[in-house]
Structure 1
Amino acid sequence: MDTDPAPAGTAGATATAGTRNGRPRLAVVGCDNLSAEGADAYFRSNRSVVLLDPDRIGEADVVLVVAHRVTDEVLTRMEELRRTSANPAMRFVLVADAVDEHRLVRAAGCGVVALLPRTSTTFSRITEAVLRSAQGKADLPDTAVRALVEEIGSIQQNVLAPRNLTPSGLSTREVDILRLLAEGFDLAEIATRLHYSERTIKSIIHGVLTRLSLRNRVHAVAYAFRRGLL
């Protein structure tokens, strides 16, 4: 990974002030000491981010992970960080030279929104990716995007469709019911159209609300709209 001059300034010990000034809170995870120390030294003098100490990694807006290869161990570590984080919006910038396609979807599920090649990436390029990630923007190479699209299509065709599921976690039957609710039909009318009993329709809706922690039928319809299902 190439280096370049770092902007002057300090960051590591000023997390509160940095957050007030709109700078993302960054944590660094290196899969070897050299990578971790190099990235830590650079970002500790970078005024565009607030570098967090290792014991505050759960507060990070963005976690920078530097690895030679994306292994199952690397992904497991990221999943654990995401699961135990105090910040539900935590995102990952991953700098690595090799990512197998079957691990790419798992990485995306971990919260990876930026993927950069380790051997040719500069710290200024990483900074750009960190800032874009904090703004909710993705920074993925075209090859990774294509691989993700193909893998998701394969999952939809070979895994979800045979089980009448959609990528949203809703079954096609559940989507049909929510679509009819959105069109203004009551439960009795929906039962007649779909050839179920009204009790079955109520049970299916209750299952959706419980599984997805939705408040009511309106919330369920809104959920489906936001995911482009209706």
Structure 2
Amino acid sequence: MSATTTRTHVLVRATDPILQNGVCMTLRTRPEVWLADETADPAATVALVAADRFDDRTVALLRAVQARGYTKLVLIAGEVAEAEVLTAVESGVCAVARRADATPDMLVRLVRAAAAGEGSLPPDLLGRLLNQVSRLQRHVLEPRGLQLAGVTTRESEVLRLVASGFSTQEIAEKLCYSQRTVKSILHDVTNRFHLRNRAHAVAYALREGLI
């Protein structure tokens, strides 16, 4: 890491102390991040929540962290099901990974992505969510002559690309928009539906069948 690179502040919380210590030990050796404590400024800190499984304790911990003002949450869990991803996102999570996939490099990548306002979901879960929406459109809505409403065609295009993992710059290039326009579109969507971030916007759009 170059001397000019800013270290990302991260607060680690887990459902048990052994797991928390393990994550802290992993991140403590990384020059890209700085382990924060309870005195950290939530607005400038990413909260990483680790759990053996996604259960009521995990949801309670996520919501407790969110209630303290943290808006950039990363979740690492032993197993995460499709429905649980939506619950996690609604609890403020913008990046999710399974523990089996959470290498030190991935942890750093997710934390820094969250700090930059980006989101990340396991590809298989994202794929299944998109397939569900596609089946809904083909087999339920289209035969009845119905169309999904709530977002414009332009907003839908941007949300689809966000869901596919493209950055703001990549979306702008693909759609021939300026980055400012892409950010404005996402800002309009999140404000209109009272959403917290890009990941929440994608989860909401998928749940409501908007994309």
Global fold match (TM > 0.5): yes
Q: Secondary structure at the match of 2:30?
A: coil
* Larger deviation, residues 131-140 vs 148-157: 148-157
Give 1 or 2 for the bigger CA radius of gyration: 1
| Runs (5+) with no aligned partner, structure 1 | 1-6, 8-19, 158-165, 169-174, 176-221
Partner of 1:109: 90
Kept after mapping to 1: 8 A contact 2:15/2:57: no
Q: Within the alignment, does 1:41 sit opposite 2:25 as a pair? A: yes
Identity in percent: 22
Kept after mapping to 1: 8 A contact 2:9/2:35: yes
Q: Secondary structure at the match of 1:139?
A: coil
Partner of 1:226: 188
Of the three residues 9, 22, 32, the one matched with 2:16 is 32
Partner of 2:6: 22
Residues 77, 150 of structure 1: CA spacing in aligned structure 2 closer, same or farther, 3 A cutoff? farther
TM-score, length-normalised on structure 1? Answer: 0.52
TM-score, length-normalised on structure 2? Answer: 0.56
Kept after mapping to 2: 8 A contact 1:105/1:148: no
Residues 53, 147 of structure 1: CA spacing in aligned structure 2 closer, same or farther, 3 A cutoff? same
> How far off its partner does 1:44 sit?
2.6
Kept after mapping to 2: 8 A contact 1:58/1:81: no
* Larger deviation, residues 67-76 vs 49-58: 49-58
Mapped to 2, the partners of 1:61 and 1:150 lie a distance apart of: 34
Kept after mapping to 1: 8 A contact 2:10/2:34: yes
Residues 226, 57 of structure 1: CA spacing in aligned structure 2 closer, same or farther, 3 A cutoff? closer
Q: Within the alignment, does 1:136 sit opposite 2:117 as a pair? A: yes
Mapped to 2, the partners of 1:35 and 1:101 lie a distance apart of: 23
Of the three residues 51, 64, 71, the one matched with 2:55 is 71
> How far off its partner does 1:23 sit?
2.6
1:1-230 paired onto structure 2 within 5 Å: 22-56=6-40, 58=42, 61-85=45-69, 87=70, 90-149=71-130, 226-227=188-189
| Runs (5+) with no aligned partner, structure 2 | 141-148, 153-183, 193-211
Aligned-residue Cα RMSD (Å) equals: 3.8
Q: Secondary structure at the match of 1:25?
A: strand
Residues 139, 40 of structure 1: CA spacing in aligned structure 2 closer, same or farther, 3 A cutoff? same
Q: Secondary structure at the match of 1:93?
A: strand
Mapped to 2, the partners of 1:74 and 1:42 lie a distance apart of: 21
Kept after mapping to 1: 8 A contact 2:51/2:77: yes
Residues 223, 45 of structure 1: CA spacing in aligned structure 2 closer, same or farther, 3 A cutoff? closer
> How far off its partner does 1:27 sit?
0.5
> How far off its partner does 1:55 sit?
4.7
Letter in 2 for 1:100: A
Aligned length in residues = 150
Letter in 2 for 1:36: Q
Q: Can you list the C-alpha shifts for 1:86-125, whole angstroms capped at 9, x where unaligned?
A: x5xx212211121233222111112222222212421122
Letter in 2 for 1:91: K
Residues 124, 224 of structure 1: CA spacing in aligned structure 2 closer, same or farther, 3 A cutoff? closer
Mapped to 2, the partners of 1:113 and 1:224 lie a distance apart of: 15
Give the number of the structure with larger relative contact order, counting CA–CA contacts within 8 Å between residues 6 or more apart. 2
Partner of 1:17: none
